[in-house]
């Protein structure tokens, strides 16, 4: 499981350009015996048939990550860029990135502090003041390796460290994809549809199309979610806590969990002795927001793995939370066979 998570997080897949991730997902999903297809939005859909007349259950995790797109090239060879998805601009300075299909290396830069006016030093540097330096000395030289519209992603390796912890980019939501691939190895009485969606970070776009097309009876969304159990954060604002198990959501900014599914997920965790937590604070949103309202409506519930420093090149999780997310959802789905 850890090796799958490593492969997924180190693959580049900014919203709208999920190709590298999609190829890995297709490969691994096909090995489970599922029927695998790709729709027009680039969603990967892996199906396992159930008994005749059985309900249709959709599990979803998004393949895309936040990142950048090249918007202009200056005469001196520096690249201007726009962000894709929600990124705190305070963390961008000096970060390494990889650009385009050839993974051209670059560094996000800004005017040196020695050249800044006193009042500039007391302000957050805005993204529009930044540029990506690829070591080119002119526009013509830069254009040999980078084009307008090229995607750029954080350059960050997967690292295991500390007490069973992992550092990587794109844990939101490659951890959900990894959990889903593990669950897809199982067979159930119901029709099981695993959907690896695109463009979640820019408006839940892939899931909107997939849910309308698939028209499931119920859905479980697998996510990586905010974890703020760090110094100087008030207890009620921590949202989740690392190492206390997967988080079950009753509500967020995009959806409200189906009460029966929420209760069933909690009862499943307690019955099988699986550590879990209720996600506090309703910040954020995910694919459940659009799946829930597809066609005549879909009963949904969200299970997330807590991740510190989300939407950054150095997000972090506890592997036990990851393993327990797999355990919880597997047991929940077994219970769905009898309902």
For residue 142, the domain's CATH number is: 2.40.30.40
Q: Which domain covers residue 95, as residue numbers? A: 67-154
Q: Tell me whether residue 161 is in a domain.
A: no
Is the dihedral angle over the CA atoms 49, 50, 54, 57 positive or is it negative? negative
Displacement of CA 104 from its chain's centroid (Å): 23
Residues in contact with 117: Cβ distance below 8 Å, sequence separation at least 6, in sequence order: none
- Cβ of 234: how many Cβ atoms within 10 Å? 7
Which pLDDT value is given to residue 41? 97
258/313 same-domain check: yes
Q: Is 44 within 8 Å of 29 (Cβ atoms)?
A: yes
Residues in contact with 308: Cβ distance below 8 Å, sequence separation at least 6, in sequence order: 227, 228, 229, 230, 242, 315, 316, 317
* Helix or strand run (H / E) with residue 331: helix 319-337
Euclidean distance between CA atoms 148 and 38, whole angstroms: 27
Number of domains in the chain: 2
Catalytic option among 65, 182, 191, 200: 200
149/297 same-domain check: no
287/178 same-domain check: yes
10/150 same-domain check: no
37/145 same-domain check: no
Q: Tell me whether residue 146 is in a domain.
A: yes
Euclidean distance between CA atoms 151 and 149, whole angstroms: 6
Residue 169's Cβ-count burial label (10 Å; 0-12, 13-18, 19+) is: buried
Which pLDDT value is given to residue 165? 97
Q: Tell me whether residue 211 is in a domain.
A: yes
Displacement of CA 137 from its chain's centroid (Å): 36
Residues in contact with 157: Cβ distance below 8 Å, sequence separation at least 6, in sequence order: 10, 168
Displacement of CA 51 from its chain's centroid (Å): 32
Q: Going residue by residue through the chain (339 aa), what tens digit of pLDDT does each one get?
A: 999 999 999 999 999 999 999 999 999 999 999 999 999 999 999 999 988 888 999 999 999 999 999 999 999 999 999 999 999 988 899 999 999 999 999 999 976 665 565 666 667 778 888 999 999 999 999 999 999 999 999 999 999 999 999 999 999 999 999 999 999 999 999 999 999 999 999 999 999 999 999 999 999 999 999 998 888 888 888 889 999 999 999 998 889 999 999 999 999 999 999 999 999 888 788 999 999 999 999 999 999 999 999 999 999 999 999 999 999 999 999 988 655
Q: Tell me whether residue 328 is in a domain.
A: yes
Helix axes 19-30, 171-183, angle to 10 degrees: 20
Which pLDDT value is given to residue 114? 54
Catalytic residue list contains 270: no
Going from the C-alpha of 167 to that of each of 274, 282, 334, the distances in angstroms are 24, 25, 32
Structure tokens at 338: 């009898």
Q: Tell me whether residue 159 is in a domain.
A: no
Q: Tell me whether residue 162 is in a domain.
A: no
Task: State which of 154, 186, 211 marks the end of a domain.
Answer: 154
Which pLDDT value is given to residue 119? 67
Task: State which of 130, 154, 178 marks the end of a domain.
Answer: 154
Q: Tell me whether residue 276 is in a domain.
A: yes
Euclidean distance between CA atoms 114 and 107, whole angstroms: 19
Which pLDDT value is given to residue 281? 81
Q: Is 305 within 8 Å of 225 (Cβ atoms)?
A: yes
Closest residue by Cα to residue 182 from 321, 25, 18:
25
Task: State which of 101, 122, 154 marks the end of a domain.
Answer: 154
237/220 same-domain check: yes
136/174 same-domain check: no
Q: Tell me whether residue 164 is in a domain.
A: no
Each residue's pLDDT tens digit, 83-114: 999 999 888 999 999 999 999 999 999 766 65
Which pLDDT value is given to residue 233? 86
Number of helical (H) and strand (E) elements in the chain, helices listed first: 9, 17
Q: Is 92 within 8 Å of 109 (Cβ atoms)?
A: no
Which pLDDT value is given to residue 237? 83
Is the dihedral angle over the CA atoms 202, 224, 42, 147 positive or is it negative? positive
Decide the pairing of beta strands 56-62 and 191-197. parallel
Q: What pTM did the predictor assign?
A: 0.93
Structure tokens at 251: 């509500």
119/179 same-domain check: no
Residue 335's Cβ-count burial label (10 Å; 0-12, 13-18, 19+) is: middle
């Amino acid at each position: 499981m850890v090796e799958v998570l490593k492969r997924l997080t180190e693959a580049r897949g900014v919203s709208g350009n999920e190709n590298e991730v999609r190829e890995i997902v297709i490969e691994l999903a096909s090995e489970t015996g599922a029927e695998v297809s790709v729709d027009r939005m680039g969603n990967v859909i892996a199906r396992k048939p159930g008994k005749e007349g059985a309900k249709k259950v959709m599990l979803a995790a998004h393949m895309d990550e936040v990142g950048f797109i090249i918007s202009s090239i200056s005469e001196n060879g520096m690249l201007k860029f726009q962000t894709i998805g929600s990124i705190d601009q305070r963390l961008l300075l000096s970060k390494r990135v990889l650009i385009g299909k050839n993974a051209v290396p670059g560094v996000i830069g800004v005017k040196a502090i020695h050249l800044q006016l006193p009042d500039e030093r007391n302000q957050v540097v805005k993204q529009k003041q930044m540029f990506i330096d690829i070591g080119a000395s002119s526009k013509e030289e830069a254009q040999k390796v980078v084009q307008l519209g090229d995607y750029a992603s954080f350059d960050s390796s997967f690292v295991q460290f500390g007490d069973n912890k992992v550092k990587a980019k794109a844990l939101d939501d490659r951890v959900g994809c990894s959990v889903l691939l593990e669950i897809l190895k199982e067979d159930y009485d119901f029709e099981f549809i695993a959907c690896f969606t695109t463009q979640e970070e820019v408006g839940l776009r892939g899931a909107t199309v997939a849910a309308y097309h698939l028209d499931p009876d119920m859905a479980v969304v697998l996510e990586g979610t905010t974890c703020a159990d760090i110094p100087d954060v008030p207890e009620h604002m921590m949202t989740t806590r690392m190492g206390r198990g997967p988080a079950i959501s009753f509500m967020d900014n995009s959806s409200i969990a189906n009460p029966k599914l929420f209760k069933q997920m909690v009862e499943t965790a307690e019955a099988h002795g699986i550590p879990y937590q209720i996600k506090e604070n309703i910040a954020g949103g995910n694919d459940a927001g659009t799946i829930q309202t597809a066609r005549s409506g879909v009963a949904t519930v969200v299970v997330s793995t807590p991740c510190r420093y989300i939407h950054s090149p150095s997000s972090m999780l506890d592997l036990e939370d990851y393993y327990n997310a797999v355990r919880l959802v597997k047991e929940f789905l077994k219970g769905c066979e009898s309902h």
